[in-house]
Chains A and B, each alone.
Chain A
Amino acid sequence: MAKNAEVESSYSGRIRATKIFRTIICVLLCIISIFPFYLMIINSTLDSITIKAGVHLLPGSFAQLGENFTNLMKKAEGVGTSLWGAMLHSAIISVPATILTVYCSTLTAYGLTVYNFKLKNAAHTFIMAIMMIPAQVSIIGFMQFMMKINLYDSYWPLIIPAAASPATYYFMKQYMATGLSLEIIEAARIDGSGEFSTFNKIALPLMKPAMATQAIFAFITSWNNLYTPSMMLTDTAKKTLPMFIMALRSEQFRQDYGVIYLGLFLTVLPIFIVYFTLSKYIIAGVALGGVKE
């Protein structure tokens, strides 16, 4: 009996030790995740000379934060687009792009789930095949094409292509396989509902949870995009947020460390807010989207 208890306690002791060890590693990894952002926030309240001296863990003064802010706004004038303007431009692109991505992908998934037609399987296979083609390889042709049809240096080339998003389509298709019963659609038909109004009034509400998840990802992808806008936009007054961040790396901001950190802080703030309010859905969405057979 006594021996048994000893074995048991050494076993549970080992488990406890493992648990403590793993928790410490996880906490360390979390600190590594946060630390750069923590320094960013702290440094945005400090002046350049203090920042240059090394790592500071405590914030400076509100007065310095205010001064950095004033300097940031002043220096941003040389960029061509103000910080708020850049955020507005990014929103002008990301909101319609998100709506297009989610609506058109759901439309396509619905078309390939509910209807039977000749090219149905071919269409699905085709989308799965193009999923792997990265947009970056066709950027030169895209740029030339947009110049030819006079859409270069406008926001249209950043919005319209969002309508064809194979990954979102695939997610919607998977979700419909279980989340959409064909009987409801059949019933709506018997009640005399037209095909498109059945989709808009009956199928879309049923797809809401999946659409919300995909909307978050579509929005963030579009909001964070740097490559396409920096190839497509030449007018400095049209800069998007990532392009504004690009300007923080240029000569005019070089020695003003506090100002750069504050600029960075303000650029990541919207995403921080979105992430910490929706993190549960975002992580669930990653888990769902990543498991592909």
Chain B
Amino acid sequence: MKKKTVEYGKYGYFFILPFFLVFFVFQLYPLIYTFYLSFVEYYQIKLGKFQGPNFNGLKNYIMVLATTEGKGSDLKVVSWFDTMTVKSIGNTLKIWVLNFIPQILLALLLASWFTDTVVKLKGQGAFKIMMFMPNIITASSIAVLFYSLFNANGPITMMLQNAHIISEKYDFMEKPGGTIGLIAFMQFWMWYGNSMIVLIAGILGISPSLYEAAMVDGANSKQQFFKITLPLLKPIIQYNLVTSAIGGLQMYDIPSLFNVDQSFNGKPNFASETITMWIKSLGFTSKDYGKAAASSIVLFIVTLVISIVFFAVTKDRQPKQKHAVIR
């Protein structure tokens, strides 16, 4: 038999090659290209005819972050931070906060119920299946379904009006609060089951001996939850917070098909326009690639800053809590 004197290590490169090749070509290069496009003037003048690409420095950024007057070298800033890019980032954050807070609180409550060893709930499997279900259903279908149920002629609007829960003239689609509230509700409704399952897994991963020791010391279930479960779940909750914030900033499917006009911009008066909807509107509909790219990079920076801030918050607090538990 031939003896093998092969250095196996180099095979590793072959195994990871497809992943990295695809990543560099189809994800990293487009990101760098977007960065480049954000510094050039490049838009459609009329069908099939484009201006640029010509380098124009930070002008795209000025135009997406400030209301401006004039063109080219005469570009003058009228007022800062009142553009659709800024407004749509604000809308997106508002919807995300409105959905995340109730979502994580309900998920925590349910996770603590489902793992309670004293009050054992029956039918947990079925509950989990039902509560998680909306998460997996095509979000586009959910958006159109809720629009059909809650528009001025929708059956649920009728029901709420007949029951005098909302006034007879109330139209969710005419009120910014109604529309944003429903979008946040849909997001909440789709995601609390997911967070709950993740938190249950987290709680089940906590060593039972901690609870036993606490019980011997006479801690009641409330104390156990706040002194053991919650501190030890913090990394998972914070991971959940960061991923939810990143995902939430890219929110598109639901708002883009919920309360929109014929060019798929968020009604009423752009109140439900999210940043990804606006980037699509700039890049795909208006074909102003330079501005669309600048908006994308602004979104990228906002995403980055938010995740770094949330991660920083995690790191600061962790050691203290671990200490408290050990003691």
* Residues of A in contact with B (beta carbons under 8 Å apart): 15, 18-19, 22-23, 26, 29-30, 32-34, 36-37, 39-40, 43, 51-56, 104-105, 107-108, 110-112, 114-117, 119-120, 123, 127, 130, 132-145, 157, 160-161, 163-164, 169, 189, 192, 195-196, 199, 220, 223-224, 226-227, 230-231, 241-242, 245-246, 248-251, 257, 260-261, 264, 267-268, 271-272, 275-276, 279-280, 282-283, 286-288, 290-293
Decide: A132 and B246 in contact? CB cutoff 8 A: yes
- CB contacts (< 8 Å) of A15 on chain B: these are 118-119
- CB contacts (< 8 Å) of A132 on chain B: these are 242-243, 246, 307
User: Closest 10 A-B residue pairs measured CB to CB?
Assistant: A111-B15, A290-B198, A115-B12, A141-B34, A141-B33, A142-B30, A287-B201, A164-B23, A30-B130, A141-B30
Q: Mask for B116-143, Cβ within 8 A of A = 1, else 0?
A: 0011111101111111111011111111
Name the one of B16, B33, B121, B242 contacting A111, with C-beta atoms under 8 angstroms. Answer: B16
Decide: B198 and A249 in contact? CB cutoff 8 A: no
Q: State whether the Cβ of B247 lies closer than 8 Å to any Cβ in chain A.
A: yes
Question: Given the interface contacts A141-B34, A261-B148, does A112 sit within 8 Å of B16 by beta carbon?
Answer: yes
- CB contacts (< 8 Å) of A268 on chain B: these are 137-138, 141
Name the one of A33, A140, A161 contacting B130, with C-beta atoms under 8 angstroms. Answer: A33
Q: State whether the Cβ of B144 lies closer than 8 Å to any Cβ in chain A.
A: yes
Rounded to whole angstroms, the CA-CA distance of A201 and B10 in the bound complex is: 20
Q: List 10 A-B contacts (CB under 8 A).
A: A32-B189, A133-B31, A139-B283, A141-B31, A246-B264, A271-B136, A290-B198, A291-B198, A291-B201, A293-B235
Decide: B22 and A140 in contact? CB cutoff 8 A: no
Question: Given the interface contacts A117-B9, A199-B15, A226-B139, does A30 sit within 8 Å of B252 by beta carbon?
Answer: no
Rounded to whole angstroms, the CA-CA distance of A288 and B155 in the bound complex is: 39
- CB contacts (< 8 Å) of B219 on chain A: these are none
Q: Which of B61-69, B168-176, B209-217, B289-297 contacts A (4 or more CB under 8 A)?
A: B289-297
Contacts A53-B155, A117-B10, A123-B20 given; 17 further ones with Cβ under 8 A? A22-B119, A30-B127, A33-B193, A51-B155, A54-B159, A104-B22, A112-B12, A119-B13, A134-B303, A141-B33, A169-B19, A226-B140, A241-B138, A257-B153, A260-B144, A279-B133, A290-B236
- Whose C-beta in chain A lies nearest to the C-beta of B2? A192
Distance to closest chain B CB from A118 (angstroms): 8
Q: State whether the Cβ of B4 lies closer than 8 Å to any Cβ in chain A.
A: yes
Decide: B252 and A136 in contact? CB cutoff 8 A: yes
Distance to closest chain A CB from B6 (angstroms): 9
- Whose C-beta in chain B lies nearest to the C-beta of A285? B197
Rounded to whole angstroms, the CA-CA distance of A283 and B201 in the bound complex is: 10
- CB contacts (< 8 Å) of B250 on chain A: these are 134, 136-137, 227
Decide: A52 and B153 in contact? CB cutoff 8 A: yes
Q: Which of B70-78, B94-102, B255-263 contacts A (4 or more CB under 8 A)?
A: B255-263
Distance to closest chain A CB from B264 (angstroms): 8
Decide: A282 and B136 in contact? CB cutoff 8 A: yes
- CB contacts (< 8 Å) of B110 on chain A: these are 26, 29
Question: Given the interface contacts A251-B262, A279-B129, does A22 sit within 8 Å of B113 by beta carbon?
Answer: yes
* Residues of B in contact with A (beta carbons under 8 Å apart): 1, 4, 8-16, 18-20, 22-23, 26-37, 110, 113, 118-123, 125-134, 136-149, 153, 155-156, 158-159, 162, 189, 193-194, 197-198, 200-202, 205, 235-236, 239-240, 242-243, 246-247, 249-250, 252-253, 256-257, 260, 262, 264, 276, 279-280, 283-284, 289, 292-293, 296-297, 299-300, 303, 307
Rounded to whole angstroms, the CA-CA distance of A286 and B37 in the bound complex is: 38
Rounded to whole angstroms, the CA-CA distance of A9 and B127 in the bound complex is: 28
- CB contacts (< 8 Å) of B129 on chain A: these are 276, 279, 283
Interface centre among B12, B122, B262 (most CB of A within 10 A): B12
Question: Given the interface contacts A268-B137, A275-B136, does A23 sit within 8 Å of B145 by beta carbon?
Answer: no
Distance to closest chain A CB from B94 (angstroms): 18
- CB contacts (< 8 Å) of A32 on chain B: these are 189
- Whose C-beta in chain A lies nearest to the C-beta of B155? A55
Question: Given the interface contacts A242-B140, A245-B141, A248-B144, does A137 sit within 8 Å of B34 by beta carbon?
Answer: yes
Distance to closest chain B CB from A26 (angstroms): 5
Decide: B145 and A36 in contact? CB cutoff 8 A: yes
Distance to closest chain A CB from B74 (angstroms): 26
- CB contacts (< 8 Å) of B9 on chain A: these are 115-117
- Whose C-beta in chain B lies nearest to the C-beta of A266? B141
- CB contacts (< 8 Å) of B11 on chain A: these are 111, 115, 195
Distance to closest chain A CB from B91 (angstroms): 16
- CB contacts (< 8 Å) of A111 on chain B: these are 11-16
Rounded to whole angstroms, the CA-CA distance of A9 and B48 in the bound complex is: 81
- CB contacts (< 8 Å) of A164 on chain B: these are 19-20, 22-23, 26-27
Decide: B296 and A138 in contact? CB cutoff 8 A: yes
- CB contacts (< 8 Å) of A288 on chain B: these are 201
Decide: B119 and A54 in contact? CB cutoff 8 A: no
- CB contacts (< 8 Å) of A286 on chain B: these are 132, 194, 197-198
Rounded to whole angstroms, the CA-CA distance of A132 and B27 in the bound complex is: 13
Decide: B122 and A23 in contact? CB cutoff 8 A: yes
Decide: B128 and A283 in contact? CB cutoff 8 A: yes
Decide: A104 and B18 in contact? CB cutoff 8 A: yes
- CB contacts (< 8 Å) of A29 on chain B: these are 110, 127, 130-131
